[in-house]
Chain A
């Protein structure tokens, strides 16, 4: 099944977007061939292990022990998936790449050790900061889209890349607020970041949707403003409005994926030249396995990908190519 195992490439050439096609995915990327994935979590290990068509999964790097001198311990369920040829992508959530304070070298080493332990085709982190002034925020916080933030973030990304043998993909977050003095649009900021660092893009369509709703903007406009040929893979997640905050969409990861997010995934798919790798993130209030499978099939249909719930490469009925 070597043809179904994603290649572990070295860094792609930098500055690949200059003069490139406005459509995305011409290179294929480290998860080339695409397919459906899921964020592996212990609470849904059984359901995830029972997905015959799963192509990749993501594991929260900070949830794994080991890294410096002790080997990273792979959860049993992840090791089984890896043995089946399912690619495993370490996903960091606490590096604080956009924090103005120095990176914690222990965290960087740990992320690199996770990539080595998984033989991961790539690693991902966020365009965000999570701590400052000695305090943990407990969540991913937005950066000012300023020259200073771009400089800090780019420098941190480059120093993480130097520790990795595989590409790094960066995920723009869902922000509940913006900084008051942005100098760049989100599209300009992300484009400059990817050009400066050669990093790839982890595009979360639920984040794009959340930001557009909460800023009163058109979600598809961002697709026109960023280099879609840098997309390594795509996140999809659920969310909802909360009774306490009417009119604000929360990217909760604990609610079902709304139809509007699936529709945005369809719009994205239409702009990509090759089949993308698309995964569901669920982080609590886990539904029964059957509900999870139905949600994965809805994502596969929207992205015109083979189902993760069926063995082989059957494309779901109704999936638009």
Chain B
């Protein structure tokens, strides 16, 4: 089974999958990139763009399976964001997955913290953030920079009828009348 491969030319492994005709359909630009590594880099970039950034499917792939992979990536992303933003996820309940799917459509993953952060801000702007999720967002904003580093200086955010204040790393929720 394990024939000598080292040094051997790559060859067609399964009939029908890599015939000259099918290779021609994979990408017209293949032949314009003689460097195999540069070609691979370009094709990998096309694939990732199609899976996470709304770019067209690269030629030759099973489009149904790319759609399956796209949905799986969104499900995984929704779960990861929910783990980092539990109150946001809880406040949306059964609408969580569809809300995240709509939000991340065409946006490349920025990590669960930032993906959820942007979603919470967008919902807040539309007035669709629950009180608990608004406090969760305000606490994040006063304790963390957008890249996840801790804020060293005090910070405050208005939140509902009050404010969330961070001083010396401690977070206080103030009710204003």
**Which chain A residues have a beta carbon within 8 Å of chain B's beta carbons?**
17, 99-101, 129, 131-139, 141, 144-152, 176-185, 187-188, 191-192, 195-196, 224-225, 227, 242, 244-245, 248, 250, 254, 284
Q: Mark B94-130, 1 if CB is under 8 A from A, else 0.
A: 0000000000000011110000000000000000000
A40–B65 CA distance with the chains assembled, in angstroms:
31
Q: Is the CB of A145 within 8 A of B13?
A: yes
In the assembled complex, the Cα of A151 lies from the Cα of B37 at a distance in Å of 9
> What's the least CB distance linking A249 to chain B, in Å?
11
Residues of chain A contacted by B41 (CB below 8 angstroms): 99-101, 132-133
By the criterion CB–CB under 8 Å, are A151 and B36 in contact?
yes
Residues of A contacting B108 with CB < 8 Å?
Answer: 135-136
From residue A151, how far is it (CB to closest CB) to chain B in Å?
7
CB distance from B68 to the nearest CB of A (A): 5
Assess the A135–B45 pair: CB atoms within 8 A. Answer: yes
Bound Cα distance from A139 to B73, whole angstroms: 7
- Determine whether B56 belongs to the interface, using a CB cutoff of 8 Å to chain A: no
Mind listing 24 A-B residue pairs with CB under 8 Å? A99-B44, A100-B40, A129-B44, A133-B46, A134-B45, A135-B108, A139-B72, A139-B73, A141-B48, A144-B40, A146-B36, A151-B37, A177-B62, A180-B22, A181-B18, A182-B13, A182-B14, A182-B18, A183-B10, A185-B14, A187-B1, A242-B75, A245-B68, A245-B72
* B49 CB contacts on chain A under 8 angstroms: 133, 135
- Since A132-B44, A181-B60, A250-B72 are in contact, a sample of 13 more A-B pairs with Cβ atoms closer than 8 Å, ordered by chain A residue number, is A17-B2, A101-B41, A133-B46, A135-B53, A136-B108, A138-B77, A147-B9, A177-B61, A180-B60, A183-B12, A187-B2, A188-B2, A245-B71
B: contact size bracket = 35 or more
**A137 to B53 alpha-carbon distance, docked (Å):** 9
Confirm or deny: B47 has a beta carbon within 8 angstroms of a beta carbon on chain A.
yes
CB pair A137 B52 closer than 8 Å: yes
With A180-B26, A225-B2, A244-B71: A152-B60 Cβ-Cβ less than 8 Å: no
Residues on A with beta carbons closer than 8 Å to the beta carbon of B68: 176-177, 245, 248
Query: Which of B25, B42, B83 contacts A284, CB < 8 Å?
Result: B83
Q: Is the beta-carbon distance between B10 and A184 smaller than 8 angstroms?
A: yes
CA distance A52 to B17 in the complex (A): 50
Q: CA–CA, A97 to B71, complex, Å?
A: 24
Q: With A149-B40, A180-B17, A183-B12 in contact, is A137–B73 under 8 Å at CB?
A: yes
B48 to chain A, nearest CB (A): 5
Collect the chain A residues with CB atoms within 8 Å of residue B66's CB.
Answer: 177
CA distance A148 to B25 in the complex (A): 18
Partner of A179, one of B37, B61, B75: B61
Chain A residues within 8 Å of B38, by CB: 100
B107–chain A nearest beta-carbon distance, Å: 10
User: Given the complex, which residues of A lie within 8 Å of B1, measured CB to CB?
Assistant: 187, 224-225
B23 touches A181 (CB 8 A): yes
Which of B22, B71, B72 has its CB near the most chain A CB atoms (within 10 A)?
A: B72
A184 CB to closest chain B CB (Å) equals 5
Contact A191 to B5, CB < 8 A, known contacts A132-B47, A132-B48, A176-B72? yes
B6 touches A196 (CB 8 A): yes
User: Who on chain A is nearest to B38 by CB?
Assistant: A100
Please determine whether B5 and A138 come into contact, CB atoms closer than 8 angstroms.
no
Which of A131, A183, A242 counts the most chain B CB atoms within 10 A?
A183
Chain B minimum-CB-distance residue to A227: B2
Chain A neighbourhood of B60, CB < 8 A: 179-181
| Residue B169 lies at the interface, judged by CB distance under 8 Å to chain A | no
Chain A proximity of B28: nearest CB distance (Å): 14
In the complex, whether B172 has a CB less than 8 A from a CB of chain A is no
* Residue of B1, B45, B48, B62 with most partner-chain A CB within 10 A: B48
Check if A148 sits within 8 Å of B39, measured CB to CB: yes
Please name the residue on chain B nearest to A138 by beta carbon: B109
Return the contact of A147 from the options B36, B53, B83 (Cβ within 8 A): B36
With an 8 A cutoff between CB atoms, is B11 at the interface?
yes
B37 pairs with A141, CB closer than 8 A = no
Asked if B145 CB lies within 8 Å of chain A CBs, one says no
* Chain A residues with CB below 8 A from B36, complex form: 146-148, 151
- Give Cα A272 to B62, complex, Å: 36
